[in-house]
Structure 1
Amino acid sequence: MKLLRYGPSGQEKPGCLDADGRVRDLSGHIDDLAGEALTPETISRLKSLDIEELPLVEGTPQEDLRLGPCVGRTGKFICIGLNYADHAAESGLDVPPEPVIFNKWTSAITGPDDDVIIPRGSKKTDWEVELGVVIGKGGAYIDEADAMEHVAGFCVVNDVSEREYQIERAGTWDKGKGCDSFGPIGPWLVTPDEAGDHDALSLWLEVDGKRHQNGSTSTMVYKVPHLIAYCSQFMSLQPGDIISTGTPPGVGMGLSPQVYLKGGETLRLGIDGLGVQTQKVRRAD
């Protein structure tokens, strides 16, 4: 099932995609695609609905119908760094002996096609296509063997990053990761039964039509079940939390010479079966 949120920013309604690529409204069954609506019990109930009987929403998604972030009221936006060996190499860093955890602030979350805003004073705003894992069943100290039972679905994430803020200024990576608009998610939340093999998904990113990233989740160092179990050792996970699992090579920082966003570019990125994002890049007012 492809679940989504549609409508103006801050006024999104829950919906799903039908077999013809049209949006059907789920407002009569859940108030938002958030919290308890993401639990296994609710997802199972939504799957039992006859989608063709749901109200049809006017417009074409991602054309004249805006899609919002595919998950609402996210509590934690957890990110994993250096989780592809070849990306670690292009960054001049070793593969970490344990997953590297950092955070994006939830105020960074935007819709899949909303503008990416370069912060005031930024010199090194960069891109990162990533597989996002959305938690549906909460828990702490989750066993790796049981981890996939806690997944509501998967989505595309653009882990937009300001490298000077992240690396060259005092403190942790977080200050370069959580600026406003630095967390586009969606277009839809795809349930595991429709997402395909999460260990073998192609993911890519283009800037103004030039492909920079072209990878596969098959080369992730730490796989999805391990990441869920690992994160749950340090914090409880709740429905709606997002784990962004790292990026393949091809980021601007890893190019020679390095390339960073200046404003005016168009980003397109996607993951097999999970949809495509398109963002205009502009500088902050």
Structure 2
Amino acid sequence: MQETSAAKVSGKALLATTRYLSAQNGPDETAAFQGLINQSASGDIIVVRSGNHYFTGTVHVNKSGLTIRGENNGTDPLNYLRKAPAAPEQGVSVIDVDAGVINTVIDWIYIDGGNLPEPNMRVYGNQTKIYNSHFRNSGNTGLLIHQANQLWIEGVKCYYNYMCGISQWASSDNTIKNGQLYENGAEGLTIDGGSHNCFVSNIWIYKNNKGYRGVGGIGIDQANGANIFNCTIDRTYGHAIRFQNNLNQPDDGCQVYNNSITNNSGCAISIRHPALVTNFGQWGNTMTGNSGGTICNEP
């Protein structure tokens, strides 16, 4: 189903189309969803209707400028994109934003990975915006960001994933704010592998590293300019914030300020190989009840 509406750019009328993915509540919808994307052009909207949607393959967002929006009740998404078992050798995500694609908007999408392999969603395209979405029960990571820059992630919840809530690799100038990352088996958030100038604010990071598969609540490795502020990081199974430094490259100019970092089972801020952490600043943090102490340096 689709509807067409007119928009104006520089006085010229452009046609934007809204298409709908209806819930089948059982049959595989991979081809149907992909078909809607393949029909679409920049500026078009795809609405994922409320109900259960099952996928055995990956849906590729391969066009720039698309909006994919789920139906919602103003509080949570009502559309449930569920990963269904595929062939054993076929580990798939539900949605990929492909490399080279820009200006994708993902809004009010709920993905449940069914504890099956691979992340729930992978982002390779720059300037992707993700709002108000849930990524849960992945057999890997809820939301994987790989070589994707200038992302805006707001109001997102990632929880009960086998590995990380949100994992970033070689992805710079990203903003992550006003969300929740909780009860993941590894880190709630990683800022790794050249993910420079990441701004993280007002995130509730709770009971992460439950499976002791990571280094703490937030893991940082070879990332300059990480800014973590106004967050609550509590009850981590390990360190709240950990400069892991496995890559043996500097973390320069990182700032941690005005956070509540409490009741974690490791240090509030742990720095491994402290010579690699240069021009680091921390201030205004509440760091109490952490069994490992406040700021720890490790060889």
Q: TM-score normalised to the size of structure 2?
A: 0.25
Structure with the higher strand share, 1 or 2: 2
Rg larger for: 2
Q: Relative contact order, CA 8 A, sep 6+: which one is greater?
A: 1
Report the TM-score when normalising by structure 1: 0.25
